[in-house]
Structure 1
């Protein structure tokens, strides 16, 4: 019996949807990018997920200060108009239980007839060997529906190590990618080289990169003008120092 609990608030039809999953990685770029997507697309929370793989986190709604609901370590959001699902993580995974949870995540995507999984991640800036190339790298499984588009865009492919994906500082992205391949679920890993610090610009860059393969824009072609920062980002680096210390 699974120790993971998927609490869906409604019997939502997720057929043909793209599932976006952030890997807890250097600079938290994937999580920040997912925050931008959820806030900008006004996505609806459709489920909460509980698992021994999660470090417990509980707080107010990070996208609506007037909301009376609380948010936890892992939640599922949906944008029906774009047929996008985002699984947002707000804490690292416990290594002992991580693979079991990720395997069940992929099985859940298959059960709900989702089209594919996109993993957003990051890697240490000093691992970037060719400085003059794009700061982004990707790994796409054979079944990935974006392969031809990516080849046309001339994205830089991740260099495999002994036919396996290895992203330094990339969290669980390589594990999830291998599970998707084993279970024949189309998967794309997209990551950016970065350093710890203010990684908000990296999140914006990640969304712009995603725009090349996903329909994220509304009536206007300028995606940046449509992105809405979550209210929770106002406290991203804590409160300002008290004025009476000066």
Structure 2
């Protein structure tokens, strides 16, 4: 944590993990910007799942990016493709998400060893190693179960919560437009009007002030 460098107030702080509450819609939004200590992701996900369950939450929505270099069968004909993973069915599918023309994450296979190991950890039936016990023989299919969203998905699911992950492939650089894309998708899934979450600047989204330190304002185009 630290003082926000662009703040007009000395008491405006930024954190690696922030919480926002929208009581009118019964929503709580958590924004995590800092990494989790290596080897502690599953423990962190378990604690977060316990907190959500103890708070009376029933549905959880995880928004996450994926490495663009890992994207297979790229199709940009209809814009940036949204992928999902849901606990509704054992194969990760969800009828509502399919109706929104989103694609289930192809790399999810509950019978694959990485996903099975993660599920076993989430249910408390194994002791976590620093990494997968088969780290020395990792295969391509072990990549996705090793990601943070996978740990969150497995731990929320193990606590009996309905969890849906919304995922989009992003390149390195300014990913704020990708964040807007995920936010729009979240409102569609929840059946909410995006206008409820817009700021006062011409219908634009009201973004966390901490984002202002990521890339700064756009350049003055008059200099070109």
Please classify the TM superposition score into its range, dividing by the shorter chain length: 0.5 to 0.7
Select the residue among 165, 186, 192 that pairs with 2:168.
192
How far the C-alpha of 1:193 sits from its partner, in A, is 0.7
What CA distance in whole angstroms lies between the structure 2 residues aligned with 1:172 and 1:187? 14
The answer to which structure, 1 or 2, has the higher relative contact order (CA under 8 A, 6+ apart) is 1
Contact 1:82 1:216 in 2 (8 A): no
Residues 223-234 of structure 1 mapped to structure 2, 5 A cutoff: 225-234=203-212
Residues 205-216 of structure 1 mapped to structure 2, 5 A cutoff: 205-214=181-190, 215-216=192-193
Q: Deviations over 1:222-246 (max 9, x none)?
A: xx924124444343226999xxxxx
Q: Deviations over 1:86-134 (max 9, x none)?
A: 1222310002322212101101111111121111111111222111265
Q: CA RMSD in A?
A: 3.4
Select the residue among 83, 86, 89 that pairs with 1:140.
86
TM-score, scaled to structure 1: 0.62
What CA distance in whole angstroms lies between the structure 2 residues aligned with 1:209 and 1:227? 14
Could you tell me which runs of 5 or more consecutive residues in structure 1 were left unpaired when the two chains were aligned: 1-56, 242-246
What CA distance in whole angstroms lies between the structure 1 residues aligned with 2:153 and 2:85? 8
Select the residue among 35, 60, 70 that pairs with 1:117.
60
Contact 2:58 2:162 in 1 (8 A): yes
Residues 118-197 of structure 1 mapped to structure 2, 5 A cutoff: 118-132=61-75, 135-142=81-88, 147-159=94-106, 160-161=108-109, 163=111, 168=144, 171-197=147-173
What CA distance in whole angstroms lies between the structure 1 residues aligned with 2:163 and 2:5? 30
How far the C-alpha of 1:177 sits from its partner, in A, is 0.8
Structure with higher strand content: 1
Q: Indicate how the Cα distance of structure 1 residues 213 and 130 shifts in structure 2: closer, same or farther if over 3 A, else same.
A: same
Structure 1 runs of 4+ aligned residues shifted over 4 Å read 164-170, 238-241
What CA distance in whole angstroms lies between the structure 1 residues aligned with 2:110 and 2:197? 44
Q: How many residues align?
A: 181
Structure with higher helix content: 2
- Determine the structure 2 residue equivalent to 1:12: none
Contact 1:122 1:170 in 2 (8 A): no
- Determine the structure 2 residue equivalent to 1:52: none
Contact 1:75 1:87 in 2 (8 A): yes
Larger Cα Rg: Structure 1 or Structure 2? 2
In terms of mean alpha carbon deviation, does 70-79 or 157-166 score higher? 157-166
TM-score, scaled to structure 2: 0.67
Could you tell me which runs of 5 or more consecutive residues in structure 2 were left unpaired when the two chains were aligned: 116-141, 220-224
- Determine the structure 1 residue equivalent to 2:29: 86
- Determine the structure 1 residue equivalent to 2:194: 217
Contact 2:197 2:206 in 1 (8 A): no
What CA distance in whole angstroms lies between the structure 2 residues aligned with 1:86 and 1:105? 13
